[in-house]
Chains A and B, each alone.
Chain A
């Protein structure tokens, strides 16, 4: 009775509802996008009324917000932080830089497409996206969590070899020494 398919589905639905209404955000302020987080959280737009809240450490966080360009150096830290987070976990790419490099598309030390290194659930377009766009993107994330489609963490584990290969290409020395998924 407890383990049949329908009971599991009901539990899953309730859990997904709770996950979508309690999202603790780890804002990884790598680029200029971090400046848009403050108005999103404070009195004008107040993301907390929708259940969003800042998380202090990766262990407590549900969503990693990559706000802007990622240099080769920061990718290492971002991957480490992502692997420290406890699943289910989600990644939101914020701004054009995470989609195609944005204004840094031909820079020698930034990556162009975040999805090659981490499984991104939602992209928010713009340079910079205004708080309205951020809230729209986050509510899109809520929607796919509720539908049960936000399975980035499983995708990362399934395609670990591919992701690790891409990471190793840009940071050859670091990844070789780092332990896999066991921080």
Chain B
């Protein structure tokens, strides 16, 4: 009983950490975007104020039962992937290192590939019920884009699985600690393919075709205000953090303490953000064609490299 209670406490601590870091990253990104536009930009804690305001809206229209599922699926996806991904590398010396391990198991990488597509599918159902044409167009675009970036992403993961004959994220971190080389250097093609897929995964420009602010009026979330939007915003932040931690775990050797974790995830996060600030938006077919071009080719190279060396 005590064991389970401690596990629950650990899971809650993980969630709070992910929420705070994810929301802060969102605010910092808005600040950086502002500075690039030669503006002052909002304060870094603006996202927290926005979330609290959305939560304290007094009225929230819903369009039926399925509408709730959109927000619920997103929440489930972000929380489950956060629980599966080990936050810190095993074997560190700090007292909190045994926290944050949560639910990871031997096949977690395969489970993650599945669960990461779960949220957009739930969103598709929820957006369908709202009856807003912008939502339907946004969902169609989102699923097309997912088909695009999933291919180089899965190729990169398969290359790693072939090389090291494991599907456990903890094993990958142990391998990196034992050999002393990060996987981004051990199989650079896999890393490049995964980073190119990441540009689509985080949906900043030029791949912001789902939300498309002035074109689709925020796409799938256009009928969600108040507490719906709060749920989506917070689960989006948590999911962002979870994905970044996954990249750090797989390619950058994991992190031994929280400071290294924040530094590594932040550096990685700047790739899609800075690329996005200076880019215009692709059309859907351009985005899919882009992902099936060089990123897929580099993914193929990664698999060949894994098979031959």
Whether both chains belong to one complex is answered with yes
- Report which A residues bind B (CB closer than 8 A): 14-15, 18-19, 21-22, 24, 42-43, 46, 48-49, 51, 53-54, 56-62, 84-88, 183
B34 and chain A: residue at smallest CB distance: A48
24 contacts between A and B (CB under 8 A): A15-B53, A15-B56, A19-B56, A22-B50, A48-B30, A49-B40, A51-B46, A53-B50, A56-B222, A57-B223, A59-B61, A59-B224, A59-B226, A59-B229, A60-B221, A60-B222, A60-B224, A60-B225, A60-B229, A62-B53, A84-B61, A86-B59, A88-B57, A88-B58
**Bound state CA distance, A48 and B50, in angstroms?**
12
Q: Is B41 part of the binding interface, using a Cβ–Cβ cutoff of 8 Å?
A: yes
Q: Is B39 part of the binding interface, using a Cβ–Cβ cutoff of 8 Å?
A: yes
- From 17 to 64 in chain B, residues with beta carbon under 8 angstroms from any chain A beta carbon are 30, 34, 37-43, 46, 49-50, 52-53, 56-61
Q: B39–A42 contact, CB under 8 A?
A: yes
Q: B225–A48 contact, CB under 8 A?
A: no
Q: B53–A86 contact, CB under 8 A?
A: no
**Bound state CA distance, A158 and B5, in angstroms?**
50
With beta carbons under 8 angstroms apart, the residue of B37, B134, B226 that contacts A43 is B37
Q: B53–A18 contact, CB under 8 A?
A: yes
Name the distance in Å between B121's Cβ and chain A's nearest Cβ. Answer: 22
**Bound state CA distance, A56 and B58, in angstroms?**
20
Q: A59–B42 contact, CB under 8 A?
A: no
A15 and chain B: residue at smallest CB distance: B56
With beta carbons under 8 angstroms apart, the residue of A14, A48, A60, A88 that contacts B41 is A48
**Could you say which of A46, A62, A85 has the most chain B C-beta atoms within 10 Å of its C-beta?**
A46
- Report which B residues bind A (CB closer than 8 A): 30, 34, 37-43, 46, 49-50, 52-53, 56-61, 134, 213, 217-218, 221-226, 229
Name the distance in Å between A44's Cβ and chain B's nearest Cβ. Answer: 9
Q: A57–B218 contact, CB under 8 A?
A: yes
Q: B46–A86 contact, CB under 8 A?
A: no
**Bound state CA distance, A86 and B58, in angstroms?**
8
**Bound state CA distance, A85 and B43, in angstroms?**
26
Name the distance in Å between A66's Cβ and chain B's nearest Cβ. Answer: 19
Q: What residues on B are CB-neighbors of A54 within 8 Å?
A: 213
With beta carbons under 8 angstroms apart, the residue of B34, B46, B225 that contacts A46 is B34
Which DSSP category, helix, strand, loop or mixed, fits chain B's interface?
loop
**Bound state CA distance, A60 and B225, in angstroms?**
4
Name the distance in Å between A50's Cβ and chain B's nearest Cβ. Answer: 8
Q: A57–B217 contact, CB under 8 A?
A: yes
Q: What residues on B are CB-neighbors of A58 within 8 Å?
A: 225
Q: What residues on A are CB-neighbors of B42 within 8 Å?
A: 48-49, 51, 53
With beta carbons under 8 angstroms apart, the residue of B37, B43, B46, B217 that contacts A56 is B217
Name the distance in Å between B223's Cβ and chain A's nearest Cβ. Answer: 6
Q: A87–B52 contact, CB under 8 A?
A: no
**Could you say which of A15, A43, A56, A88 has the most chain B C-beta atoms within 10 Å of its C-beta?**
A56
Known interface pairs A59-B224, A87-B57. Does A43 touch B38 (Cβ–Cβ under 8 Å)?
Answer: yes
**Bound state CA distance, A26 and B212, in angstroms?**
16
Name the distance in Å between A56's Cβ and chain B's nearest Cβ. Answer: 4
Q: A60–B218 contact, CB under 8 A?
A: yes
**Bound state CA distance, A43 and B35, in angstroms?**
9
**Bound state CA distance, A58 and B59, in angstroms?**
13
Q: B217–A18 contact, CB under 8 A?
A: no
**Could you say which of B37, B57, B59, B224 has the most chain A C-beta atoms within 10 Å of its C-beta?**
B57
Q: What residues on B are CB-neighbors of A14 within 8 Å?
A: 52
**Bound state CA distance, A52 and B286, in angstroms?**
33
Q: What residues on B are CB-neighbors of A62 within 8 Å?
A: 53
